[in-house]
Chains A and B, each alone.
Chain A
C-alpha cells in the first residue's frame, strides 16, 4: 500500500505530507525566478501537456455538453423555461463544469504521467546523473513541468468549454430547432467577463496543483518499480482531491465578489 494513501487516514502523516508539499512548492517559487529558465524544455513540455490531453479533453467536453443538455432539457420544458437553455448551459459549463472536468481529466492523464516519468527517472538514477553533470534537475524537470501544466490548463479549459457548448448546441438544434446564430447569441449575451475571469484564474490554480503534485510525487518516488507505480497513482488521488478543495475556495472567493 503506498504510504501516502494511508496518510489520508492518519492525521500526523497528513500534516507531514502537506508540509513537505508546501516546501516543494516554496522551492518551485524560489527556483522559477532564478535564471536561467530552461526554455527549450518548457516549450517541449507545453507541447507534450497540450498535445497529450487535447483529444481526450475535446471528446469528453463534447459528450458532457451533449449529455448535460439532454438531461436538463425535460425539466426546463416542465418549467416552461426552455428558451433559457443556452444561457443556463453556458453559465454552468463556463463557471464550473468545463474547468473541473478538464482538470480532473488532466489530473488523471498528465498528473499520472508526470508522476511516473519523474518517478522512473528518480529510481533509475537519471535525476542523479543530471545533478552530477551540472544541470539543476529541479529547474530542468520540475520547474518546466509545473509551468507547462499551469499555462496549458486554462487553454485546455477554454477549448473544452467551446466544444461542450457546441455539443449542447447540437441537442438544442436537433430537439428544439434552435439555430446556430440564435444559440450562440444567447450564449454570448449571458457569459460576461465576470464568468470568464474567475474560471480562467481557477484553471491556472488547477494546473499548478496538478503539476505540483505530479512532480512532488515523482521527484520523491521510493526505490523500485513499485515506487514508480505508487508515485503515479498517489499523484492522481491527491491532486484530484486538491482540485475539489481549490474549487470550493474559488467559489467562495468569487461569491464574495458577486456580492459586491
Chain B
C-alpha cells in the first residue's frame, strides 16, 4: 500500500479562555429518515479559527449533519445556532445571508458541469454582489483561483480538470464570498494519496490566509491527524468522544480505538 507523505501537524492548540463564543453551536440534535435514526442527540461547538474534525464511519450521518447546518436538510428536534442565528427559524433572506458566511465544499466537488470555471466562480456572486466589497468581479475570481494555484484554468470546463483540480476549483468557489466558516464534506475522498496531501496543505494554507474556522468531516484518519486542532468521534448518532488527536488516540474505549487502527 502507498503511504501518505508526512506533513507537519497543525500546531494551533486552543486555550479554553481564548475561544470566545461559538460560531456554530449544536445541542441535542435529532434527525431520522422514517424510523432510521441518524442523529440521536448530537452536540458540538465550533470556535473561531479552529479546525474541528468529525470522524465517523460511512453512513454514520456526517453529511446529514453538515447539511442540517446550512439547512439543506431539516432536523427533527434540538437547537442549531450558526453565527448567532437559530437556523431553523430564519426566513429565506436571512437564511441566504447566513449561508453566504458559511462555505460548503461538497464531497464530489459539485462543480456546475455545464459552466466554465469562470462561470462557476461567478455563480455565488450573482446573488451576493454586496460581498464583492466594491472590487472588480474578474479580479475576485482570479485571486480566488490564484489562492488555489489554478489561475490558468479560468476558461476550462470542469470535465477537463482532474479530480484534485476540481476539488481546488470548488474550494475557490467557496472562498470567493470570504466565508467565516467552511464546511468540508470528506475533502480527500476519492483522491490519491499525493493529491490528498496537496488538498490538506491547501486547506491549511487557506485557513491561514482567510482566517476562517473549518469543520471537516472525514473518515480519513491521516487527514484528521494533520488538520485537526480538535476532533469529535461520531458514533451511533452522538458525540461519542471529543479531544485532540493525541488524546483520542490514547483512549481505551473500543469504539474510539477502532478508528485508530
Contacts and interface: CB of A to CB of B under 8 A. Distances in A.
Interface of A: 117, 120-121, 124-126, 128-135
Q: Which 9 A-B pairs have the closest CB atoms?
A: A134-B127, A133-B124, A125-B110, A129-B110, A125-B106, A134-B96, A126-B110, A132-B99, A132-B104
Given A126-B110, A129-B106, A129-B112, A135 B123 contact: yes
A142 B86 CA distance: 30
Contacts of A125: 106-108, 110
Contact of B67 (A121, A128, A133, A134): A128
A229 B126 CA distance: 31
Most chain B beta-carbon neighbours within 10 Å: one of A124, A130, A131, A133 = A133
Interface of B: 67, 70, 72, 96, 99-100, 102, 104, 106-108, 110-114, 123-124, 126-128, 177
A126 B99 contact: no
Contacts of A134: 96, 99-100, 124, 126-128
Contacts of A131: 72
21 contacts: A121-B113, A124-B113, A125-B108, A125-B110, A126-B110, A128-B104, A128-B106, A129-B106, A129-B110, A130-B123, A132-B72, A132-B99, A133-B100, A133-B128, A133-B177, A134-B100, A134-B124, A134-B126, A134-B128, A135-B123, A135-B126
B93 to A, nearest CB: 10
Contacts of A133: 99-100, 123-124, 127-128, 177
A128 B72 contact: yes
Prevailing SS type, chain A contact patch = helix
Nearest to B109: A124
A133 B126 CA distance: 9
Given A131-B72, A134-B100, A124 B110 contact: yes
A121 B67 CA distance: 17
Contacts of A132: 70, 72, 99, 102, 104
Given A132-B70, A134-B96, A134-B100, A126 B127 contact: no
Given A133-B127, A134-B99, A134-B128, 16 more contacts: A117-B114, A121-B113, A125-B106, A126-B110, A126-B113, A129-B106, A129-B110, A132-B70, A132-B102, A132-B104, A133-B128, A133-B177, A134-B100, A134-B126, A134-B127, A135-B127
A223 to B, nearest CB: 11
Contacts of A135: 123, 126-127
Prevailing SS type, chain B contact patch = loop
A129 B176 CA distance: 14
Contacts of B108: 124-125
Most chain B beta-carbon neighbours within 10 Å: one of A120, A124, A134 = A134
A218 B146 CA distance: 35
A126 B112 contact: yes
Nearest to A117: B114
Contacts of B110: 124-126, 128-129
Contacts of A117: 114
A176 B179 CA distance: 75
Contacts of A124: 108, 110, 113
Nearest to B125: A133
Nearest to B170: A129
Nearest to A135: B127
A135 B102 CA distance: 15
Contacts of B177: 133
Contacts of A130: 112, 123
Nearest to B111: A126
A117 B127 CA distance: 23
A75 to B, nearest CB: 50
Nearest to B104: A132
A135 B114 CA distance: 16
Contacts of B113: 120-121, 124, 126
Nearest to B97: A134
A165 to B, nearest CB: 36
A201 to B, nearest CB: 32
Contacts of A129: 104, 106, 110, 112
